[in-house]
Structure formats: structure tokens, C-alpha cells
Amino acid sequence: MKKQIKEVVGNYIVEPTPNAVAKGVSLCDSHPREIWRLRRHAFKLAYWPTGPNGDFGEPDIDYYDLKALRAHRISALRIDEKINGFNNVRVIFFRSNTPIYGEPLPRIWLLDTFQKKSRRYTPHQQKALLAVKKLICIRHYNGDQNA
């Protein structure tokens, strides 16, 4: 993180949660090359556009909102490259609007990462993802769930 702040790129600071780190490492079976492959895709989210019309002009960030969690700004990044041999890897992220005090940019928080096996996100998955976001807001945004 210190490094990212020092060399600010893009529009957001991308920060993984411990859950995302642990799940990512597990998915990659601890192979450094695969972990970095996954990271280099996920950290592209730093270039998430901030324009008023949300115009991407960007063919490379392939994402969708989780319908039931759209109001919470929780979305999924599709990764179109095999990660440790797995297809359909998703990185779930929460896009904050407010920079943390002292930081130049708002953060995109990586909540989770996994191989998507079914079409729908179960209500339990959605609750668990929302809980990760809630904890972030409690710890970093004084409990403001609209941060």
C-alpha cells in the first residue's frame, strides 16, 4: 500500500482484504507466478474510470454489478485468463467514494476471489460479501456504510 501511494497510478488505490488474499493464495495453490497473474488482473481496477457518464472507453476491464448488491457498489471482475488452471475466476470488489484521510485517492477493496461454478450468487454468498464490506466500513470509514 505504501508503495502504491508513493507511486499513484489510475483513479483508485486497490487494496485486498485478508479474505481476498487468503482465498487468492489458496486458489493459486501458493504458486507465486499464479498469484501475481491474478494480482496483475485485479490491480487493473486502479484504472476504473471516474468520469460523470461512466464511459469506460475501456475494452479490458470486464465487470458486472452483483444485482442485489448494486446499491452497495459491490461488483465482480471477470478474469479471462486461466489462473492456476482455473477458468471463470472472479474478483469481487467494493468501490468506495471517499478517500481515507490522508490518502490521495479513494480505494477499491477486493473482497473475495474464487472460481465461479454456478450462474447465480446465492443469498448466503451475498450476505457474506456484504459482511466483508460492512467490516471495511466499520474499520476504515467510521462505520459509514455509504463511504
Q: What is the x/- site pattern for other proteins, positions 65-104, by CB under 8 A? A: -------------xxxxx----------------------
Contact pick of 5, 8, 88, 143 for other proteins (by CB under 8 A): 143
Cβ neighbours of residue 116 under 8 Å, at least 6 residues apart?
Answer: 76, 88, 89, 90
What does residue 63 show for φ and ψ, rounded to 5 degrees?
-140, 165
What pairing do the DSSP bridges indicate for beta strands 13-16 and 63-65? unpaired
Binding residues with other proteins: total (CB under 8 A): 50
| Piece of the chain touching other proteins by CB under 8 A; list 28-36, 64-72, 97-105 | 28-36
For the bound state, the minimum distance from the C-beta of residue 10 to other proteins, rounded and expressed in Å, comes to 8
Window contacting other proteins (CB under 8 A); options: 56-64, 67-75, 99-107: 56-64
| Binding residues vs other proteins (CB under 8 A) | 1-3, 16-19, 21-23, 25-26, 29-30, 32-33, 35-37, 39-41, 44, 47, 56-60, 62, 78-82, 112, 114, 122, 124-125, 127-129, 131-132, 134-135, 138-139, 143
